[in-house]
Structure 1
Amino acid sequence: MTATDQAFRAADALVAATRAWRTEPARDPKVEALALAVSANLPVLLWGEPGIGKSATLQQLADGLGTPMETVIASVHEPSDFAGLPIVGDSPATDGVPMAPPDWAVRLARTGSGLVFFDELSSAPPAVQAALLRVVLERRVGSLQLPPAVRIVAAANPPTSAADGWHLSPPLANRFVHLHWTHDARTVVRGLAGTWPAVTVPVVEPARTSTALAKARGAIAGFLTARPGLVHHLPGDAEARGGAWPSPRTWEMVLRLLAFHYSAGTGAEALSLAVIGAVGDGAGLEFVTYLENLDLPDPERVLANPEAFALPKRGDRQLAFLTAVISAVQTDVDRQRWEAGWAVLEKAVKAGVPDVAARAAMDLAALRDTSWPVPAAIDAFVEVLQLSGRLPG
């Protein structure tokens, strides 16, 4: 070995040593929000200035998930790189012309899972952003369908700091959970000293999933009934339309985030950041405040003993509670649970709020097995059920 080879080998060893570090448990709400959204398999967009550790955090997250990460610099690609390149086969008139996917998509499909990271998204021109819509929404690259276990994360620099930056198109922006990424000086100092915070992946508890989903459905139904104007609100200016704003699609994201939060027991601050990242500041903050004061009981406990609960006093909370109970019945329908659901609705009628219970009654009636007898509690809803077609006139 020559002296030059020895010098290069020593230099490479020193470079490797500077990149070696350990991790330690630490609470960082924005990292927890990222892990929550990725675990829920929702596309995430990290907004932040260059060089503040977005890529490094994602690599730790991929390692925690035990899955490979593919990095794609969106700004240096053409639309055909995501829509696929046409490849003419032996019989295009019969078989058509398939669109060949890029190598990173093939590797993810071969592995069956992974995290694909689209960097510099705000520097990609509108035509490339349009091609990415199908990747984010349908998980299709050319003629290749990405496996369901592939997670999608993107990063963007604010237009003021991005090279040739563009505002995101509203259709693309509305498909992401937007998280604003900042650095903490103390974390950086400790990291450069050799210890970075670990990224913890939420673990879903199977025993909680039914209750978690029921509570999430009830909370969102109650809130949007009280605030119907927040179901869909497209901002007026281009910059805001390129961020998070409420739509039926993003409320569906919130439903999944909330179900994962209840099931995995993630932190309240992480949930708040993720919800705001889905539906925007105004709607998100209002919904998080609503959740803090909602305090829904466990619908499974209510179904086990429907005589022991007290109906909330506010109409939106009553609807949230009843929706959660009926959703819990839907997940595991049998006669005993179905009849317990009617017992819950009967208490709502006796409390003087049959109008609130009417919607839940229609959903519950649709679950009836024809061999089950009609419960007495249904009498209070006969008229509305006949009008809806659930009962013959």
Structure 2
Amino acid sequence: MTGTPTTPAPLAAADALNARIGATRTEPAASPRLEALALAVTANQPVLLWGEPGIGKSAGLGQLAAGLGLPLETVIASVHEPSDFAGLPVVGDDPATTGVPMAPPDWAVRLARTGHGLLFFDELSSAPPAVQAALLRVVLERRVGSLALPDSVRIVAAANPPSSAADGWHLSPPLANRFVHLRWTHDPRTVARGMAGTWPECGVPVVDPARVPGAVARARGAVSGFLTARPGLVHHLPDDAESRGRAWPSPRTWEMALRLLAAAYATGAGREALAAALTGAVGEGAGIELLSYLEHLDLPDPDRVLADPDAVSLPERGDRQLAFLIAVVSAIQSDLTRERWEAGWAVLAKAVEAGVPDVAARAATDLAAMRAPDWPVPPGIDAFLDLLQRSGALTG
């Protein structure tokens, strides 16, 4: 006998009860933890959630995927073999001519076919070193076997501390350095309200297109200016294994911080969420120093500066002057016109008037390199002529 299977009456009533309990609602609520996760996903940076078992990491991801309208693909990293991420060899008719492609798993094929999605690697700290090594290329290059995942696929992972993970391992430094690390904790009041049927809503930050050029320029100026002032923080590999398996500063993670900061400027993200994201990228020490620097930086919108350079006042401190000038030059590079280029020289002239032409020398070199052959040399360039001619940045 065929047909739709029916549930026995006693279990049908039990299923109805369970369905009623599972029917909950959400409400807007301030949650820097959720906002930091949403910010990192918006910036398309791989995120790793650290937290004890059973505190809602997977549930938070499901809610975020629903809010973004993305399909969620969950992969339990600890139960897979390295070949599941590196791909299985498929021998064709003439491997000497065509080579041997590495076949991807079904979840990767589904994401590639859809063109977007949220890829969630759960139980990452329970994955042995060989599996972690195979995941390196997936996380950084978005390649699974011979298949390239679309750029719009977001990657999130979750891990338990090794002390509470089943057969837990410390993350290898190369894999850890590819993630924004966020601490995932529970709020007893939130859990209590959730048991009553209402959970916090995971707000999705929205990038304002009008803010994008200024956001990128401000972020470039801020991060470049900070690292110029604190070169020792560009790269620092921690000494102990546990710290190496978390967030630490490197050129790769500073690039992540740059993207997070630009996304925050473009979305108007909250300070607590931005702080969690930045320290999760470059580590606690470097992140706190960067946040302190940003607190007092207060860079103006570079496009407004270029629209009226005569109204600009140069910051007093040298590191902030440099960040300001880098932001202005970056804005010009993103939308290069003769008018904006000449306005840039008017801004750099402020540094000369303030008696600090050395601060503007790097920005002047970059600005001079953008000059079109038919653009005349503006008056404001005179103070930098010797420097630019020696560097070869100015000819004609």
Shift, 1:16, TM fit:
1.6
Shift, 1:113, TM fit:
0.6
SS of the residue 2:8 aligns to: helix
- Which one is further off, 3-12 or 318-327? 3-12
Shift, 1:354, TM fit:
0.6
Q: Structure 2: which 5+ residue stretches go unaligned?
A: none
Residue 268 of structure 2 is matched in structure 1 by 265
1:38-85 Cα offsets, whole Å, 9 max, x none, are 011000000000000000010010001101101100001000000000
Q: Distance in 2 between matches of 1:392 and 1:297?
A: 32
- Aligned counterpart in structure 2 of residue 236 of structure 1, from 239, 250, 254: 239
Q: Distance in 1 between matches of 2:117 and 2:376?
A: 50
Shift, 1:377, TM fit:
1.5
Residue 7 of structure 1 is matched in structure 2 by 10
Residue 189 of structure 1 is matched in structure 2 by 192
Q: Distance in 2 between matches of 1:188 and 1:14?
A: 21
Q: Distance in 1 between matches of 2:32 and 2:297?
A: 22
Q: Which amino acid aligns with 2:109?
A: V
TM-score in terms of structure 1 length: 0.98
Q: Distance in 2 between matches of 1:169 and 1:385?
A: 45
1:255-287 Cα offsets, whole Å, 9 max, x none, are 101111011111011000000000000000110
Q: Which amino acid aligns with 2:218?
A: K
Taking only aligned residues, the RMSD between alpha carbons, in angstroms, comes to 1.4
Residue 20 of structure 1 is matched in structure 2 by 23
Shift, 1:386, TM fit:
1.7
Q: Distance in 1 between matches of 2:255 and 2:295?
A: 20
Residue 338 of structure 1 is matched in structure 2 by 341
Q: Distance in 2 between matches of 1:246 and 1:4?
A: 56
Residue 33 of structure 1 is matched in structure 2 by 36
User: Which residues of 2 match residues 221-370 of structure 1 at below 5 A?
Assistant: 221-370=224-373
Q: Structure 1: which 5+ residue stretches go unaligned?
A: none
Q: Which amino acid aligns with 1:56?
A: A
Q: Distance in 1 between matches of 2:100 and 2:224?
A: 45
1:116-142 Cα offsets, whole Å, 9 max, x none, are 110110110100000000000000000
Inter-CA distance 2–56: structure 2 relative to 1 (3 Å threshold): closer
Q: Distance in 2 between matches of 1:4 and 1:313?
A: 75
Inter-CA distance 6–314: structure 2 relative to 1 (3 Å threshold): same
Residue 129 of structure 2 is matched in structure 1 by 126
2:171 paired with 1:168: yes
Shift, 1:392, TM fit:
4.3
Shift, 1:391, TM fit:
2.4
Q: Which amino acid aligns with 2:118?
A: L
2:97 paired with 1:94: yes
- Aligned counterpart in structure 2 of residue 62 of structure 1, from 57, 60, 65: 65
Q: Distance in 2 between matches of 1:148 and 1:338?
A: 33
Q: Report % sequence identity.
A: 76
Q: Distance in 2 between matches of 1:295 and 1:373?
A: 33
2:377 paired with 1:378: no
TM-score in terms of structure 2 length: 0.97
Q: Which amino acid aligns with 1:74?
A: A
2:143 paired with 1:140: yes
SS of the residue 2:13 aligns to: helix
Kindly report structure 1 stretches of 4+ aligned residues shifted beyond 6 Å.
1-4
- Contact 2:369 2:394 (C-alpha < 8 Å) held by counterparts: no
Alignment length, in residue pairs? 393
Q: Which amino acid aligns with 1:363?
A: D
1:63-108 Cα offsets, whole Å, 9 max, x none, are 0110110110000100000000011111111111111100111111
Q: Which amino acid aligns with 2:94?
A: S
Residue 180 of structure 2 is matched in structure 1 by 177
Q: Distance in 1 between matches of 2:193 and 2:229?
A: 46
1:283-316 Cα offsets, whole Å, 9 max, x none, are 0011011111111111111101101111011000
Q: Distance in 2 between matches of 1:302 and 1:149?
A: 33
Q: Distance in 1 between matches of 2:114 and 2:77?
A: 22
2:84 paired with 1:81: yes
1:120-172 Cα offsets, whole Å, 9 max, x none, are 10110100000000000000000111011110000000011011111101110
Inter-CA distance 190–312: structure 2 relative to 1 (3 Å threshold): same
